[in-house]
Amino acid sequence: MYVAGVAIADTVRPLYVWEVPFYPSYYVPVADVRADLLDQTSTVTHSTSRGDAVHFTVRVDGEERADAAWQYRESPIEELRDHIRFDWNAMDAWFEEDEEVFTHARSPYTRIDILPTSRHVRVELNGVVLADSPHARVLFETGLVPRWYLPKVDVRMDLLVATDEVTHCPYKGQAEYWSARVGDELEENVVWSYGTPLPESERIAGYISFYNERVDLFVDGVRQERPRTRFS
């Protein structure tokens, strides 16, 4: 990872640690960290599973990232004791090999599959058709519900209102959002698209997808049950 163009750590021996269930964090061996760029602070934080962590400020050529790294020196998990964890957002850039990684560390257990389908897909909101396409692509992502992506020419873009919402995915890239307006109702940030997705997701470049938790999705004329997820 880099700060101000300087490599703070460079390793082929990171640990993947699942602090949250959705994706891992990198823990880097102390021997592979530029210790001369770290200053220990008075901050100590506690994790019920990992123990107490001492924190470090990263300083590079006048750039300072306070408490941006920490170490569980006496962790009950012995493997963590000689490793340092860096705050993802406090670093300027992260790389796996020579490819930059965005948002968070990629999980080795997550897979993206994008398949063209001849199944007819229709999207409605309060009975109004927002999209109708025989040229959909369905995206399968490990642990998530399938997402149906449709060509813009098959979407009622006149019913969509662009918003300032932006999200990032380490497998797909940066997404832009729209709200859907039907009559007096505005369903906010229910539609998204990846204009320039990452290489593994190029098949959905410029395609439109809807949160099927919040709209009615029909596949070959059959209304799909709305999934219950954190996006509902």
Domain boundaries, the chain: 2-101, 112-223
For the chain, how far is it from start to end, CA to CA, in angstroms?
A: 35
Same fold, 2-101 and 112-223: yes
Question: What is the pLDDT confidence band of residue 92, given thresholds at 50, 70 and 90?
Answer: very high
Q: Which fold has domain 112-223?
A: 2.170.150
In whole numbers, what is the pLDDT of the chain averaged over residues? 96
Question: What is the pLDDT confidence band of residue 21, given thresholds at 50, 70 and 90?
Answer: confident
pTM for the full model?
0.85
Find where tokens 């102390």 sit. Answer: 30
Task: State yes or no: pLDDT of 69 exceeds 90.
Answer: yes
Do β-strands 137-141 and 147-150 pair in parallel, antiparallel, or remain unpaired? antiparallel
Q: What is the mean pLDDT of residues 192-205?
A: 96
Percent of the chain's residues with pLDDT above 90? 95
Q: What is the CATH code of the structural domain delimited by 2-101?
A: 2.170.150.40
Check residue 231 and give its pLDDT.
Answer: 85
CB burial class (10 A; 0-12, 13-18, 19+) of residue 186?
Answer: exposed
Between the alpha carbon of residue 141 and those of residues 115, 176, 216, the distances in Å are 12, 19, 21
Please state the φ and ψ torsions of residue 119, each to the nearest 5 degrees: -70, 140
What is the full DSSP assignment across the chain?
Answer: -EETTEESB--S-PEEE-SSSS--EEEEEGGGB-GGGEEEEEEEEEETTTEEEEEEEEEETTEEEEEEEEE-TT-SSGGGTTEEEE-GGGSSBEEETTEEE-SSPPPTT--EEEEE--S-EEEEETTEEEEEESS-EEEEETTS--EEEE-GGGB-GGGEEEEEEEEEETTTEEEEEEEEEETTEEEEEEEEEBSS--GGGGGGBT-EEE-TTTSEEEETTEEPPPP-STT-
What does the alpha-carbon distance between residue 97 and residue 104 come to, in Å, rounded to a whole number? 15
Percent of the chain's residues with pLDDT above 70? 100
